[in-house]
Chain A
Amino acid sequence: MSAAKRVQQWATFARTWHIFDCKWQDPYLSANVIKKYLMGMHKPIYHPMNDCGDVVVCINSRDIALRGDDWRQRAYFHHTGYPGGASWTLAWEVHNKDPTMIIKKAVYRSMKGNLQRRHTMQRMLIYPGEEVPEDIMQNVTNQIRQLRPVPTRLDHIPEDEVKKYPKVMEYPEDYVLK
């Protein structure tokens, strides 16, 4: 076996560590992407009985973006098991309590409910901010591409660049600038 083939063999069977930046990403859409890396579905050797899943580190889970009015429309259900123990919590209330819970539940929901799911979820690490412990960061070798580009705020663009940008609208001649 040549050296290149041997490295390919190691790379196939090793657990790769991926990083995913959740800034301005829809958790329900990115869950379908993260799921594939967690279960190892991006590998040609994938099989449900084959333990070939990778580790995914999600950062900036506090800055996820939900579509439209989802923050106040989406409700998360919980039941304590006692009579009258049902509760519905809105997405923004869940995110206030725990900024990692929405992305975690989204990935958990996107996978099929079998015995393997809990173990697959153990391979997903979520951090609300940029800070990741050093011993985890040194394992990371790959970055998962973001689904949506992060939008730029107008006040973060330099002022002369805003002035130099090509204009579409022209004021009428008798307009008083406000």
Chain B
Amino acid sequence: MSFLTRANCLAKNVILSTFVRSISTTKHLQLKELHERKEGSTLIVEGVTVPSPHTELLIRAEKIKDLAPVEKTEHTCYMCALDLDVKHTDVLILSQFVRTDGCMLPRRITGLCRRQQKKVGKMVSMAQKAGLMINLTPSYCKKDPRQRYAYKKFNTYFDENTIFMKKIPKPVDKFKR
């Protein structure tokens, strides 16, 4: 059945030349890096295939023997399986989940579950507000937390317990009935 639909698709591609869709049975896409270079007056932008910088040092719970095997394997992602206690000051871990401009990567790229994506995303913004990942910021950033505006220039720390709190209690709330 699937073969038939694929054949139909290919036939469509032949007839309608405007709608081009390439179908391949093997992986032809690879991790790429965009390079810009100038030759004379022409600007050449090319995607260069690069090996992933993370592959050799990758840590997975399946490979660690001391970790107890998790029963419900279908509901856990790799961060839940590792069971790490990550704080917002652990910039060496959090910097793996961001682009070079300090923006959190979406879930289809990080491959986390919903809860972990929310948690890591909040901790990335905590680290950015505390000025701990100042080299992973947009190019227009001043790159110095002390140059920031008003209250943002002073040191701030965060409590990770507030991430999944529905309502963060204010100091005056304890006097209310």
B20 contacts partner chain A, Cβ-Cβ < 8 Å: no
The segment out of A9-17, A45-53, A60-68 that lies at the interface is A60-68
In the complex, are the beta carbons of B58 and A170 less than 8 A apart? yes
B30 and A66 form a contact (CB under 8 A): no
Cβ-closest chain A residue relative to B136:
A154
> Which residue from A152, A157, A173 sits with its C-beta under 8 Å from B29?
A173
- For the side of the interface on B, what is the size category? 35 or more
Partner of A176, one of B27, B34, B132: B34
Contacts of A169 on B, CB cut-off 8 Å? 54, 96-97, 110-111
Within 8 A of A (CB), among B98-151: 99-101, 108-111, 130-136, 150-151
Report the interface size class on chain A: 35 or more
State whether the Cβ of B12 lies closer than 8 Å to any Cβ in chain A: no
Asked if residues A173 and B79 are in contact (CB atoms below 8 Å), the reply is no
Q: At the interface, yes or no: A162 with Cβ under 8 Å from chain B?
A: yes
Q: Is B50's CB within 8 Å of the partner chain A? A: yes
Asked whether any CB of chain A lies closer than 8 Å to the CB of B76, the reply is no
Report whether A168 and B134 are in contact in the complex, using a CB–CB cutoff of 8 Å.
no
The minimal Cβ–Cβ distance linking A91 to chain B, given in whole angstroms, is 8
CB <8 Å contact, A177 and B31? yes
Determine the distance from Cα of A176 to Cα of B52 in the docked complex, in whole angstroms.
11
**A112 CB–B CB distance under 8 Å:** no
Whole-angstrom distance between the Cβ of A68 and the nearest chain B Cβ: 6
Considering only residues 52-82 of chain B, those with a C-beta below 8 Å from chain A are 52-55, 57-59, 78-79, 82
Q: A177 CA to B134 CA in the complex, in Å? A: 20
- B54 partner residues in chain A, CB cutoff 8 A: 167, 169-171
| CB of B108, distance to nearest CB on chain A (Å) | 8
Q: Does B164 contact A (CB under 8 A)?
A: no
Query: For chain A residues 147-178, which have a beta carbon within 8 Å of chain B?
Result: 148-149, 151-155, 157, 162-178
Contact of A154 among B95, B99, B111 (CB under 8 A): B95
Q: Is the CB of B89 within 8 A of A151?
A: yes
Query: Which of B82, B157, B168 is A65 in contact with, Cβ under 8 Å?
Result: B157
Whether A168 and B79, one on each chain, are in contact in the complex, defined by CB atoms closer than 8 angstroms, is yes
> Which one of B34, B96, B131 has the highest number of Cβ atoms from chain A below 10 Å of its Cβ?
B96
Judge whether A162 and B92 touch: CB under 8 Å.
Answer: yes
| B32 in contact (CB, < 8 A) | yes
Contact B57 A173 (CB under 8 A): no
Contacting residues, chain A, for B157 (C-beta < 8 A): 24, 26, 65-67, 148, 151
B153 to chain A, nearest CB (A): 8
Cβ-based interface call for B155 (8 A): yes
CB distance from A80 to the nearest CB of B (A): 24
Query: How long is the Cα–Cα vector from A171 to B55 in the complex, in angstroms?
Result: 9
- Of residues 35 to 94 in A, which have CB atoms within 8 Å of B's CB atoms? 63-68, 70-73, 90-92
Taking A163-B53, A169-B97 as given, write out 6 further A-B residue pairs in contact, using a Cβ cutoff of 8 Å, ordered by the A residue number.
Answer: A67-B159, A68-B168, A168-B59, A170-B52, A176-B31, A178-B99
12 A-B pairs within 8 Å (CB atoms) are namely A65-B154, A66-B157, A67-B157, A68-B158, A72-B150, A90-B151, A92-B151, A154-B134, A154-B135, A168-B79, A171-B54, A176-B33
